[in-house]
């Protein structure tokens, strides 16, 4: 059951940028985009959209999402294929337009078949889990398991079980499944390892580091796992490894903020420079009204700027649509540090309804 009473969130205050209209806030890298001829077939369009999505995931550059949307949006609705609908849902998910993502995925699940239906089920399960809609997520995971038994479906169910009071059981069951599936495809094994890392962190099991390290060894461009591991190091007061993990990723907001936190804790000589660049980046995003990743800004305000009140406002706004453990933890920490724990009471009630405990949450124990 999803909490029906959302925490109240104050409206955004007027933005007064501290930079001139002509100021250059950041030097973006050159990106080559093929705009000579738009794709003429759904298959060619799908290939190009998929390529842009992959580049966005591996580089953290959101412009690739814009490029993908730019070539997909003019495509006639009556020529949309299942593959294009799944890809469009993926774009919507990355833009936090979760309702639109669900709208695209449902007809593929209900009427489609083959790989696209499987991908639609997995994407829908992920969307529902991110938003804390665990009953719906479990249904999608079960449908995926019926259609394609294996490590990905097992990981899907394990994550939902862990978020609803069965973390230890989910971890042990998935670990057993992983050990029994050594012949599974590499992508499946990496998916399971990433999930095992998440569950281990929830249980305060130090093996989280090992699992996430194994994923990054095979796929260094997995920015989500890279950020998860960096955050885990910071939670365990190990700032030094964060510098190595985030080196070269300063253009990715989530990793840049984690790097800034680590640098501050280590009194690194380059901390002030990175913090200033992040201030300018976030100021420009708020000025443009494009503050998509509220979690990163809330974390920056809480752990770098020492402004828990502002951090709480953005953490509450973020939690309205995203309820992963890092989102919940950030909100609880901000409410505590701001001396406004009453504003986190609906979140605590929601956690209790789902029997969700997590060693990463303040006040929770393994």
List, for residues 176-226, the tens digit of each pLDDT value. 999 999 889 999 999 999 999 999 999 999 999 999 999 999 999 999 999
Domain-embedded: residue 105:
yes
Domain-embedded: residue 140:
no
Least confident residue range of 37-41, 43-47, 357-361: 37-41
Domain-embedded: residue 333:
yes
Does residue 116 share a domain with residue 57?
yes
Is 4's pLDDT higher than 60? no
Instruction: From 204, 220, 236, give the residue that closes a domain.
Output: 220
Q: Give the long-range contacts of residues 348-357, CB within 8 A, separation 24 or more.
A: 349/3, 350/2, 350/3, 350/132, 350/323, 353/1, 353/3, 354/1, 354/132, 354/134, 354/163, 354/164, 354/165, 355/164, 355/165, 356/163, 356/164, 356/165, 357/165, 357/167
Split into its structural domains, the chain has a count of 4
Is 10's pLDDT higher than 80? no
Domain-embedded: residue 8:
no
| Ramachandran assignment for 28, one of left (phi > 0), alpha (psi -120 to 50 degrees), beta (any other) | beta
Is 34's pLDDT higher than 90? no
Q: What is the largest CA-CA distance in the chain?
A: 60
Does residue 121 share a domain with residue 63?
yes
pLDDT of 364: 57
Least confident residue range of 22-31, 154-163, 224-233, 284-293: 22-31
Mean pLDDT, to the nearest integer, of 159-187?
Answer: 96
Mean pLDDT, to the nearest integer, of 339-355?
Answer: 97
pLDDT of 284: 86
Q: Which domain holds residue 333?
A: 293-366
Does residue 186 share a domain with residue 255?
no
Does residue 311 share a domain with residue 348?
yes
Domain-embedded: residue 59:
yes
Instruction: Give helix 151-163 / helix 134-147 axis angle, nearest 10°.
Output: 160
Is 317's pLDDT higher than 80? yes
pLDDT of 182: 83
Does residue 162 share a domain with residue 117?
no
Nearest 5°: phi and psi at 263?
Answer: -60, -40
Does residue 195 share a domain with residue 212?
yes
Instruction: From 97, 131, 165, give the residue that closes a domain.
Output: 131
Does residue 240 share a domain with residue 211?
no
Write out the two tokens for 213. Answer: 């390290």
∠ CA 192-137-156 to the nearest 5 degrees? Answer: 10
Report the residue count for the chain.
Answer: 366
Does residue 364 share a domain with residue 299?
yes
d(CA 211, CA 297): 28
| 165 contacts: CB under 8 Å, gap ≥ 6 | 354, 355, 356, 357
- For residue 215, the SS3 value is helix
* pLDDT band, very low/low/confident/very high, at 154 (cuts 50, 70, 90): very high
Mean pLDDT of the chain: 89
pLDDT of 291: 57
Is 2's pLDDT higher than 90? no
* pLDDT band, very low/low/confident/very high, at 17 (cuts 50, 70, 90): very low
| 355 contacts: CB under 8 Å, gap ≥ 6 | 164, 165
The domain that holds 103 is classified in CATH as 1.25.40
Mean pLDDT, to the nearest integer, of 40-61?
Answer: 93
Domain-embedded: residue 329:
yes
Mean pLDDT, to the nearest integer, of 345-352?
Answer: 97
Higher pLDDT, 77 or 289: 77
Does residue 264 share a domain with residue 318?
no
* pLDDT band, very low/low/confident/very high, at 366 (cuts 50, 70, 90): very low
pLDDT of 292: 63
Write out the two tokens for 200. Answer: 């281990």
pTM score of the predicted model: 0.86
């Amino acid at each position: 059951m999803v909490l029906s009473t959302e925490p109240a969130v104050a409206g955004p205050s007027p933005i007064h940028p501290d930079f001139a209209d002509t100021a250059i806030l950041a030097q973006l890298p050159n990106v080559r985009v093929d705009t000579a001829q738009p794709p003429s077939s759904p298959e060619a369009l799908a290939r190009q959209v998929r390529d842009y999505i992959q580049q966005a995931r591996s580089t953290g550059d959101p412009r690739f999402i814009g490029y993908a949307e730019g070539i997909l949006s003019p495509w006639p609705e009556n020529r949309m294929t299942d593959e294009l609908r799944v890809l469009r849902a993926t774009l919507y998910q990355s833009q936090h337009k979760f309702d639109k993502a669900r709208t695209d995925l449902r007809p593929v699940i209900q009427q489609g078949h083959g790989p696209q239906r499987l991908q639609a089920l997995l994407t829908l399960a992920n969307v529902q889990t991110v938003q804390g809609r665990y009953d719906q997520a479990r249904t999608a995971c079960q449908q995926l398991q019926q259609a394609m038994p294996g490590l990905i479906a097992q990981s899907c169910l394990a994550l939902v079980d862990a978020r609803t009071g069965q973390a230890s059981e989910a971890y042990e069951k998935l670990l057993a499944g992983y050990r029994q599936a050594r012949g599974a495809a590499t992508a499946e094994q990496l998916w399971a390892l990433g999930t095992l890392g998440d569950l281990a962190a929830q249980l305060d099991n130090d093996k989280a580091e090992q699992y996430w390290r194994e994923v990054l060894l095979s796929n260094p461009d997995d920015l989500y796992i890279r950020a998860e591991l960096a955050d885990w190091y910071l939670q365990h007061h190990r700032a030094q490894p964060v510098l190595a993990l985030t080196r070269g990723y300063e253009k990715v907001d989530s990793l840049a903020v984690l790097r800034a936190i680590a640098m501050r804790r280590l009194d690194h000589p380059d901390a002030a420079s990175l913090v200033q660049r992040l201030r300018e980046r976030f100021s420009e995003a708020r000025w443009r009204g494009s503050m998509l990743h509220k979690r990163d800004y809330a974390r920056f305000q809480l752990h770098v700027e020492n402004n828990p009140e502002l951090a709480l406002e953005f953490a509450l706004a973020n939690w309205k649509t995203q309820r992963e453990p890092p989102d919940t933890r950030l909100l609880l920490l901000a409410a505590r540090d701001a001396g406004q724990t009453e504003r986190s009471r609906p979140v605590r009630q929601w956690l209790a309804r789902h029997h969700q405990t997590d060693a990463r949450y303040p006040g929770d124990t393994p």
